[in-house]
Amino acid sequence: MSHSKRIEISLLAAIVFSVVLSICTLNVECGEIRSRVLRLHVLANSDSQTDQELKIQVRDRLLEVSQELYSDTETKEDAVRATWENMDLLQREAESVIRANGFDYPVSVTLEDCYFNTRTYGDITLPAGKYQALRVVIGEGAGHNWWCVMFPPLCISAASENEPKLEDVLSKEQMELVESDGYEIRFKCVELYEEFMQLISG
């Protein structure tokens, strides 16, 4: 192998290593972001108009209830604790909305780890990966889903001034990360990395 060829291979290896290291470093920071927010994931019974409208009504009611539950919370751990302590209430509220609309669908309300793709909410972009989430499955759960952030309450446009904001739970560097338009491509790399890890982990 010629000297110039060895140099080219070495440079290519250095570039690949640099890119991989950058993605891994970014993914660590994204992991910190994931650990500080609580997501909401609602699946409709089907994609019919009535089932999709029902999904939105269930979502709205649970968000209203969460505003009350999280009124004194300051961290994601506080929000998770309040959610666990009120799972029966959340279940009843979801069932009440369904019954009030004339349906008898069963509904499952659980707190679990769910995979989310990269998602933008206004000027905030959250990286792909596994987040702890309140997961609500209506009936067959075969319809389009809806997701957002329960804590801090990004889903609620009229959140109280006293409620924690995203900047209250993320560091300055993490806020710059989720607010930067320039991270779209890098977040896509993180998403591909997370999807790969999901694949190899089964």
**Mean of pLDDT over the chain:** 79
Residue 65: pLDDT band (50, 70, 90) is: very high
Percent of the chain topping pLDDT 90: 39
Backbone angle region of 49, left / alpha / beta, with phi > 0 → left and psi within -120 to 50 → alpha: alpha
Axis-axis angle for helices 49-69, 76-85 (nearest 10): 110
The pairing of beta strand 38-43 with beta strand 129-138: parallel
- pLDDT for res 121: 77
| Confidence tier at 123 by pLDDT (50, 70, 90) | confident
Amino acid identity at 161: E
Provide the CB-side half-sphere exposure for 183 (13 A, CA). Answer: 26
Amino acid 90 reads L
Q: Which amino acid is at 41?
A: H
Calculate mean pLDDT across residues 131-148: 93
Strand extents, DSSP E, the chain: 38-43, 107-116, 119-121, 124-126, 129-138, 145-151
Angle at 193 between CA 131 and CA 26, to 5 degrees: 75
Task: Give which of 170, 192, 190 is closest to 25, Cα–Cα.
Answer: 190
pLDDT tens-digit series, residues 6-47:
555 545 544 544 444 455 556 567 788 889 999 999 999 999
> What element of type H or E holds 169?
helix 166-169
The dihedral of CA 29, 187, 142, 157: what is its sign?
positive
Residue 113, classed as helix, strand or coil, is strand
3-class DSSP assignment, residue 131: strand
Question: Running DSSP on this structure, what letter comes out for residue 128?
Answer: S
Mean pLDDT check: name the lowest of 88-97, 105-114, 119-128. 119-128
pLDDT, tens digit (0-9, with 9 covering 90-100), for 21-30: 455 556 567 7
Task: List CB contacts of 165: < 8 A, sequence separation 6 or more.
Answer: 152, 159
How confident is the model at residue 194, as a pLDDT?
62
CB hemisphere CA count around 113 (13 angstroms):
6
The region of weakest confidence among 55-69, 86-100, 107-121, 186-200 is 186-200
The better pLDDT of the pair 136, 154 is held by: 136
